[in-house]
């Protein structure tokens, strides 16, 4: 019997990634699942798959419904009221690089704080100042964190995780990937992904093609 | 205190409408909500909103994931294993007309039986013979039912429900609409829609198991 793990692929521009980021810690702890937080960039993957823009922008009815859904789910999950950022989807490159550069222990709290700035406070995470303030609020030494984030190692690592997501066949965020490479798409599937991760840890591994 | 109602808009070509159709009866009964079953045609609405084809077909990764998700949800909800019909999305016009023509008492059982033929047995519901056999299996006198379905009244009624869905801003199936015209999109939102319907009617909220 191996230990249960789950890869959590998220994009800082994604509203439902926000919900998942705020929920996954407690649920995974309760289920005994170790989560690997994997910030990636969904944009290039979607472009390669033939999408031109976010369906939430392309189809106004779908977009309006998504924000309404977010309002309701925030209440349901005990999160602050959702504030819609002016720029949506945000340019999440800097945030993703910072999250990538931080070590595994710091990544979750930074991720949650940046998502909160974006979707609870409605701030523009593309702004360097927003990212700086979030880092400072968490007690990081901002200059070092930002320098690391824009170094070659972080850029290459973010590119590698994005390529990994693409190779897995990920087409949306958040996506949860279990040890057998099964993809669970969306915040709504977090619980099922955790259940599957637990089930897998108790039996021999079989990989999906 | 009024009685709680919920409008259930579904399309026979939609996989998640199938899941909702199999689940809604029991859940609504437990919650004390009266459901109005409203078959409609999503195709014309999507076309008017700028969609060209089903995203499940346009984006292969998304389509593959949807079927995988269906497999898992069928297990979860105690439904037969999902069989993927060769023609997807199916031409659901005849089925929608028959469901429209049947009276309110017969509509749910026909809806479930036709969905079962499509997604549990993998049959082509565009075929008149499939619809006939489903009707016969439910004890209907098929010729009358099919004649009614292709009469002017049923055609106009189906068009009216489709226009109603469009006017409400529906962009996907299934959609659940509460008395305050709030739209809950997708099988995943059935429980929340029922809760909201109950809250609106002024009753205590649904208890979760």
For B68-113, write each residue's pLDDT tens digit.
999 999 999 999 999 999 989 999 999 999 999 999 999 999 999 9
pLDDT digits (tens, 9 = 90+) for A71-113: 999 999 999 999 999 989 999 999 999 999 999 999 999 999 9
pLDDT digits (tens, 9 = 90+) for A165-181: 999 999 999 999 999 99
pLDDT digits (tens, 9 = 90+) for B142-168: 889 999 999 999 999 999 999 999 999
Average confidence score pLDDT of chain A: 94
Separation of alpha carbons A33 and B146, rounded Å:
54
Tell me phi and psi for residue A100, to 5 degrees: -70, -40
Structure confidence at residue A56 as a pLDDT band (50, 70, 90)? confident
Contact partners, residue A44, CB within 8 Å, separation at least 6: A162, A166
pLDDT digits (tens, 9 = 90+) for A19-50: 999 999 999 999 999 999 999 999 999 888 88
Q: Which residues of B touch A64 (CB under 8 A)?
A: 169
Contact partners, residue B10, CB within 8 Å, separation at least 6: B17, B20, B21, B37, B38, B39, B40, B111, B173, B174
Residue A203 pLDDT: 67
Q: How far is CA B176 from CA A200, A208, B1, B13, in A?
A: 35, 35, 21, 17
Question: Percent of chain A having pLDDT more than 70?
Answer: 96
Q: Do A189 and B64 lie within an 8 Å CB cutoff?
A: no
Q: Of B195, B174, B196, whose CA–CA distance to B185 is shortest? A: B174
Token pair 């199999």 is found at B22
**SS3 (DSSP) at A39:** strand
**SS3 (DSSP) at B121:** coil
On whether residue A16 sits in a domain, the answer given is yes
- What average pLDDT does range A183-199 have in this prediction? 98
Q: Do A69 and B185 lie within an 8 Å CB cutoff?
A: yes
Which DSSP symbol is given to A86?
S
CATH assignment of the domain containing B70: 3.40.30.10
pLDDT digits (tens, 9 = 90+) for B6-42: 999 999 999 999 999 999 999 999 999 999 999 999 9
ipTM: 0.87
Q: Of A31, A93, B76, whose CA–CA distance to A23 is shortest? A: A31
Q: Do B59 and A50 lie within an 8 Å CB cutoff?
A: yes
Tell me phi and psi for residue B6, to 5 degrees: -145, 130
On whether residue B205 sits in a domain, the answer given is no
Token pair 């409203």 is found at B38
Chain A residue with the nearest C-alpha to that of B45: A61
CA angle B13, A181, B174 (to 5 degrees): 20
Q: Which domain holds residue A164?
A: 5-201
On whether residue A155 sits in a domain, the answer given is yes
Start-end of H helices in B138-189: 142-149, 152-168
Distance (Å) from the alpha carbon of A135 to chain B's nearest alpha carbon: 35
Tell me phi and psi for residue A73, to 5 degrees: -70, -30
Positive/negative CA dihedral, B29, B32, B33, B35: positive
- Let me know how many helices (H) and strands (E) chain A has, helices first: 10, 4
Q: Which residues of B touch A51 (CB under 8 A)?
A: 59
pLDDT for A205 beyond 60? no
- What average pLDDT does range B155-183 have in this prediction? 97
On whether residue A144 sits in a domain, the answer given is yes
pLDDT for A119 beyond 80? yes
Separation of alpha carbons A209 and A130, rounded Å:
41
On whether residue B206 sits in a domain, the answer given is no
Looking at the DSSP bridge assignments, the partners of residue B177 are: B7, B183
Q: Of A20, A77, B181, whose CA–CA distance to B196 is shortest? A: B181
On whether residue B209 sits in a domain, the answer given is no
pLDDT digits (tens, 9 = 90+) for A144-169: 999 999 999 999 999 999 999 999 99
Which long-range CB contacts under 8 A does B177-183 form with residues at least 24 apart? Answer: B177/B6, B177/B7, B177/B9, B178/B5, B178/B6, B178/B7, B179/B2, B179/B5, B182/A68, B183/A65, B183/A68
Task: Report the number of distinct structural domains present in chain A.
Answer: 1
Structure confidence at residue A206 as a pLDDT band (50, 70, 90)? low
On whether residue B74 sits in a domain, the answer given is yes
Q: How far is CA B5 from CA A114, B23, B114, B201, in A?
A: 40, 16, 24, 8
Contact partners, residue A146, CB within 8 Å, separation at least 6: A98, A128, A131, A132, A135
Chain B residue with the nearest C-alpha to that of A61: B169
Q: Which residues of A touch B76 (CB under 8 A)?
A: 192
Distance (Å) from the alpha carbon of B123 to chain A's nearest alpha carbon: 27
On whether residue B13 sits in a domain, the answer given is yes
Structure confidence at residue A54 as a pLDDT band (50, 70, 90)? confident
Residue B209 pLDDT: 46
Separation of alpha carbons A176 and A118, rounded Å:
22
Q: Which residues of B touch A63 (CB under 8 A)?
A: none
Q: Provide the terminal-to-terminal Cα distance of chain B, rounded to the nearest Å.
A: 25
pLDDT for B207 beyond 60? no
Separation of alpha carbons A60 and A33, rounded Å:
38
Start-end of H helices in B32-127: 42-48, 55-58, 60-76, 93-101, 107-119
């Amino acid at each position: 019997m191996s230990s249960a793990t789950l890869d959590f692929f998220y994009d800082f521009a994604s509203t439902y990634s926000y919900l998942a980021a705020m929920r996954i810690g407690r649920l995974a702890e309760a289920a005994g699942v170790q989560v690997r937080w994997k910030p990636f960039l969904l944009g290039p993957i979607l472009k390669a798959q033939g999408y031109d823009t976010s369906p939430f922008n392309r189809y106004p009815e779908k977009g309006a419904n998504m924000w309404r859904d977010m309002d309701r789910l925030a209440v349901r999950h005990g999160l602050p009221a959702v504030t819609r950022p002016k720029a949506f989807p945000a340019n999440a490159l800097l945030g993703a690089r910072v999250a990538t550069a931080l070590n595994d222990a710091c990544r979750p709290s930074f991720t949650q704080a940046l998502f909160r700035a974006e979707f609870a406070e409605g701030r523009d995470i593309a702004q360097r100042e927003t990212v700086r303030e979030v880092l400072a609020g968490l007690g990081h030494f901002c200059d070092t964190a930002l320098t690391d984030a824009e170094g070659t190692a972080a850029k290459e690592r973010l590119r590698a995780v994005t390529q990994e997501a693409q190779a897995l066949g990920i087409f949306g965020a958040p996506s949860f990937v279990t040890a057998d490479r099964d993809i669970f798409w969306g915040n709504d599937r977090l619980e099922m992904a955790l259940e599957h991760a637990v089930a897998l840890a108790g039996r021999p591994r079989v990989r999906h093609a």
